Chain A
């Protein structure tokens, strides 16, 4: 069975290590905050200028001056810091953020990513995505393996305008965990009950299947 959005987020959260500074994009990545393993501590960075993002506020705590990068009201966690946008992107572009998790339309075997613009549709802008893919030490892309018409999003070469080149090393989809290296997608794990054949069929770029591929452990 393909994973649900929450199950993808659950698998993403297993990647985090104790003491990581993490930036989560909008959508599935944001859900990963709900599944951080209990025994570790991570600090969430919000690129509008908050390190140590807490939960959404209660009605009493709502403050128009406290928002996250998605422009939602938010709180600061214990030990948080707040700073200006240049400082925020200095920590991103300077390689100080350990993990960034973001969605994508397409990823290719060279690790290039397209996530911000579909020609012919209105262009809204890239926000901080180009800075994040250029700067973070580790980037995880989360997305469905194929679009709703069944077309693969893991390609020999991206067709849409790029967000960044040769920067993606790890992808977690509803079907699999894959590593990107040597111009191929290397299958590392599969979703419970998903066959290697199904993953092959839905991966347009070169797929390397080496040895036994374990099922993901979701708990």
Chain B
């Protein structure tokens, strides 16, 4: 690599440095906008004791769900984990720990982590089990709880296009948590559908500026659909 060129050509290079007991922040919502090849590489590496921060944990046999098969995940930080039988089994067996976090709080924890904000107050979760044991405070007569930011040793991100400098664009709702995840990793790896030369992307259309990105890899994606629903049309 030279200068700002962030492109790596193998998944081994993309995930180089990942070790047992590290924290990975992963973009994606359900199976939409997930870094499929990077997840597969983590499975191939067999890294254990991982804390994974992601809105969901995939499904049985796809997405982050594949990391459960060899018990690579120690702890999952998510807002919703109901799509996965193996997850349920490991949770009930005590083999897996889960920290359920409201979806907006999870997004904000990643955003704050990437922006150097250690914690923030939110009304979400006050008076509920989510607020238990957390500092609370009133502002303008309303109760808020203090939520701490999240950062990861690695962030794994799926983008649509990136240039060699790591400037990224996302496509449709495959954006979801990816831009926040990208800011919150010590090492941020982006798997993309298409790598282009610097200058090809319109600067004002960039969603994630390359400063957040350490490595870019050309991926290939199955893009499995979790719930296919169609209408007959007009």
Chain B CB within 10 Å — which of A126, A129, A130 has the most?
A130
**Residues from 56 to 82 in B contacting A, C-beta threshold 8 Å:** 78-82
Task: Write the chain A residue with the least CB distance to B114.
Answer: A86
The docked-state distance in angstroms from the alpha carbon of A217 to that of B233 is: 31
CA distance A57 to B228 in the complex (A): 9
B189 interface contact, C-beta 8 A: no
Does A45 sit within 8 A of B, measured CB to CB?
A: no
List chain B residues, Cβ under 8 A from A206. none
For the complex, count residues of A whose C-beta is within 8 A of B: 52
Q: Give the interface SS of chain B, mostly helix, strand, loop or mixed.
A: loop
For residues 47 through 63 of chain A, which have their beta carbon under 8 Å from a beta carbon of chain B?
Answer: 47-50, 55-59, 62-63
> Are A67's CB and B128's CB within 8 A?
no
Decide: B124 and A84 in contact? CB cutoff 8 A.
no
Q: What mask results when residues 120 to 132 of chain B are scored 1 for a CB within 8 Å of chain A, else 0?
A: 0011111111100
Mask: chain A, 95-131; 1 = CB below 8 Å from B; 0 = not: 0000000000000000010000100001111111111
Question: With A85-B103, A86-B111, A124-B80 in contact, do A62 and B225 touch (Cβ < 8 Å)?
Answer: yes
Q: Please name all residues of chain A whose beta carbon is closer than 8 Å to the beta carbon of B228 when the two chains form the complex.
A: 62, 72-73
Besides A85-B29, A85-B177, A93-B124, 14 new A-B residue pairs in contact (Cβ under 8 A), listed by A number: A48-B176, A49-B173, A57-B231, A62-B225, A71-B29, A74-B229, A84-B176, A93-B122, A122-B82, A124-B80, A126-B80, A127-B102, A128-B79, A134-B125
Residues of B within 8 A of A (CB): 29-33, 55, 78-82, 88, 91-92, 100, 102-108, 110-111, 122-130, 160, 170-180, 207, 223-233
Interfacial residues, chain A to chain B (CB-CB below 8 A): 46-50, 55-59, 62-68, 70-74, 76, 82-86, 88-89, 92-93, 112, 117, 122-131, 134-135, 161-166
